[in-house]
């Protein structure tokens, strides 16, 4: 079983889904947030998962911040990292040691609507569908290789809130399922 760390910035609903739907492929051993008011921290406490808030503003630069995150991740012998609503661009300090083993969930069908507020972008252009993408992290913004995607229908009646809810339901299934798949495949290749 591989050890997984989750990075989050907000409510942590995807983090909770990853914990609750974990399989024999992975175990969530750590949550790190970049905000000390992230509700994800309360979810971690409720679920008995060790957690810590590391605030970027407390560091001289991005590299120093990421080194602190990396040091904590290493102290838990983490094999894989999942970004679940983590609202920061990952730099080389964190990316290099986990290249090919750090994935992100994004609320659109990439390459459409990368970056911040993909749901609002989808509503603004009145697309008939959007969705969820799970992808590997690279140096770009939501440009890493796509692992899995699932479409979500957008209706004329959808508001930001209703579309967000539909997308979250898909995220909560797709992210844990994809984590299990890539970790198992990596295990097979590694043997």
Which residue in the list 74, 106, 135, 172 is annotated as catalytic?
106
pLDDT, tens only, 45-103: 999 999 999 999 999 999 999 999 999 999 999 999 999 999 999 999 999 999 999 99
Nearest to 4 by CA among 32, 37, 40, 45: 32
Read out DSSP for 5-26? EEEESS--HHHHHHHHT--TTE
Say which CATH architecture domain 2-190 belongs to: 3-Layer(aba) Sandwich (3.40)
Give the start-to-end residue ranges of the domains of the chain: 2-190
1 is in an annotated binding site: no
88 is in an annotated binding site: yes
Residue 172 annotated as catalytic: no
pLDDT, tens only, 22-38: 989 999 999 999 999 99
């Amino acid at each position: 079983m591989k050890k997984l760390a989750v990075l989050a910035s907000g409510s942590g609903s995807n983090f909770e889904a990853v914990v609750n739907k974990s399989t024999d492929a992975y175990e969530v051993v750590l949550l790190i947030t970049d905000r000390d008011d992230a509700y994800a921290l309360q979810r971690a406490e409720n679920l008995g998962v060790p957690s810590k808030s590391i605030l970027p503003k407390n560091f001289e630069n991005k590299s120093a911040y990421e080194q602190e995150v990396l040091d904590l991740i290493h102290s838990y012998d983490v094999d894989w990292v999942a970004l679940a609503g983590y609202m920061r661009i990952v730099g080389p300090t964190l990316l290099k040691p986990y290249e090919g083993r750090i994935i992100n969930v994004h609320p659109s069908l990439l390459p459409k609507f990368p970056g911040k507020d993909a749901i609002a972008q989808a509503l603004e252009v009145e697309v008939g569908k959007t969705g969820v993408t799970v992808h590997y992290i690279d140096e770009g913004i939501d440009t890493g290789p796509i692992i899995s995607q699932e479409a979500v229908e957008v209706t004329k009646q959808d508001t930001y809130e209703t579309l967000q809810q539909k997308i979250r339901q898909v995220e909560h299934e797709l992210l844990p399922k994809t984590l299990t798949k890539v970790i198992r495949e990596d295990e097979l290749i590694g043997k």
